[in-house]
Structure 1
Amino acid sequence: MYSVPFSTGIDTPFADSVVSAARTTLGDSLRSVIYFGEHEMDLLYVRKDLYETEQGAMEVKSRLVEFERIGFDEAPIRSVLSVPNDPSSIGTYEFTVRIHDDGYVIRILGDSVGVLLTTDEMDVEAFEDAAEAITRLLKDPVG
């Protein structure tokens, strides 16, 4: 369920890869996949039972993306928390999971782009698989 051309400038094969990675790792619990930059976003996937119109989905997801863009500003802080070879360091930032009453939001960031996945309630371990797959794609979008 996406509109081409993409406002973020990604291409269809990359969008297909991101959606495929999310669907493969999260299954039928996946609600949506959003690819975003600092000023634009593309709604790559929305489960059919959630919104009556694409416009309705875009309005809701736009608000979510505006909130999650804070991650780009947090990057320097996350880097400071990761001190190589320091046993007290918490390690490198990987992804964020936000837990809500009826589902989850997973944010995976690249250098200047990110992916949001929304899901129903599910096993939290699946998020790591999804985040790893999406992170690989963000590091090498060509493939």
Structure 2
Amino acid sequence: MYDVPFDTGIDTQFADSIVTAARTSIGDTLRSVVYFTPSEMDLLYVRSDLYETRETALEVKARLVEFERVGFAEAPVRTALAVPAADESIGPYEFTVRVHGEGFVVRVLGPDAGVLLTTDGIDVDDFEEAAVAITAVLED
């Protein structure tokens, strides 16, 4: 299933936990799961009907990860927006959803790593369920 050893240095059990959290929350509309750091990435899951080869999937996902890595630099801004206990606070950053013509990208960031989920059409509550589950895995 996996191309190991992982470039990011994670182990198979951790990868399984991330994929399980995503698949349980999102189900059959899940297209892919990518774990990434500021310098590396691993494709943990890709739905079998999407790409002819793993190499093609990796090329496509690498371009997406390059764009989403900006989230690590945005962290101080996101934190500044979440003024604790202030009535005008929008609360702490949880996750990002990007809407595209043929699906969605969900980015969940931890301090040193993140996870991208790509999906077909999905209910907004499923995004939150997936993000909460992925956050719990990243925090363990």
| TM-score calculated relative to the size of structure 1 | 0.97
1:114 aligns with 2:131: no
Partner of 1:37: 37
Q: Structure 2: which amino acid aligns with 1:6?
A: F
Aligned-residue offset at 1:124: 1.3
Query: Percent sequence identity over matched residues?
Result: 66
Unpaired stretches in structure 1, ≥5 consecutive residues: none
**Cα displacement string for residues 45-86 of structure 1 (whole angstroms, at most 9, x for unaligned residues):** 000000000000000000000000000000000010000010
User: For the residues of structure 1 that align with 2:139 and 2:17, how far apart are their CA atoms?
Assistant: 13
**Runs of at least 4 residues off by over 4 Å:** none
Partner of 2:133: 133
Partner of 1:79: 79
Q: Structure 2: which amino acid aligns with 1:78?
A: R
Unpaired stretches in structure 2, ≥5 consecutive residues: none
Q: Structure 1: which amino acid aligns with 2:111?
A: D
| TM-score calculated relative to the size of structure 2 | 0.99
User: For the residues of structure 2 that align with 1:95 and 1:123, how far apart are their CA atoms?
Assistant: 15
Partner of 1:4: 4
Aligned-residue offset at 1:102: 1.1
User: For the residues of structure 1 that align with 2:91 and 2:52, how far apart are their CA atoms?
Assistant: 42
Partner of 1:95: 95
Partner of 2:15: 15
1:68 aligns with 2:87: no
User: For the residues of structure 1 that align with 2:2 and 2:125, how far apart are their CA atoms?
Assistant: 28
- The DSSP-based 3-state class of the residue aligned with 1:50 is coil
Aligned-residue offset at 1:2: 2.0
User: For the residues of structure 1 that align with 2:122 and 2:132, how far apart are their CA atoms?
Assistant: 17
RMSD, aligned CA: 0.5
